[in-house]
């Protein structure tokens, strides 16, 4: 099981991480319940991780933690950082998604 961060996503995460006042171990990505389609992604920096409950991915020294339950919904997903007319942000391309809501903020599997 794996996820992929594009180079643009890696660079943006490193940029945001460098602006933090506290040291963090890496980026945590989770799938949580919510939205009109049932699931949403949550991203944030984390100081702690567990070898037993987290899958740990490393991208040129940048650590990304995904709890094993979330990884079941994200296996094969790619995280990119995009900038466009409607703003900028992280975009998930997830082969496990069977549908999304109209606004695109939640998904179903």
pLDDT tens for each residue of 6-57: 999 999 999 999 999 999 999 999 999 887 667 888 999 999 999 899 999 9
CB 26 within 8 A of CB 45: yes
Tell me, yes or no, if the pTM score tops 0.85.
yes
DSSP helix/strand/coil, 105: coil
Q: How far apart are CA 81 and CA 6, in angstroms?
A: 8
Q: For 52-78, b where at least 16 C-beta lie within 10 A, e where not — what string? A: eebbebebeebbbbbbeebbebbeebe
List the domains of the chain with CATH numbers: 4-108 (2.60.300.12)
């Amino acid at each position: 099981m794996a996820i992929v961060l594009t180079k643009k996503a890696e660079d943006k995460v490193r940029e945001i991480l460098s602006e933090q006042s506290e040291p963090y171990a890496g980026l945590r990505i989770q799938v949580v319940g919510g939205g009109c389609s049932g699931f949403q992604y949550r991203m944030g920096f984390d100081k702690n991780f567990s070898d037993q409950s987290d899958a740990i991915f490393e991208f040129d020294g940048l650590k990304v933690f995904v709890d094993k339950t979330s990884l079941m919904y994200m296996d094969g997903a790619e995280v990119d950082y995009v900038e466009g007319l409607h703003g900028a942000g992280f975009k998930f391309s997830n082969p496990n998604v069977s549908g999304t809501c109209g606004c695109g903020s939640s998904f179903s599997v």
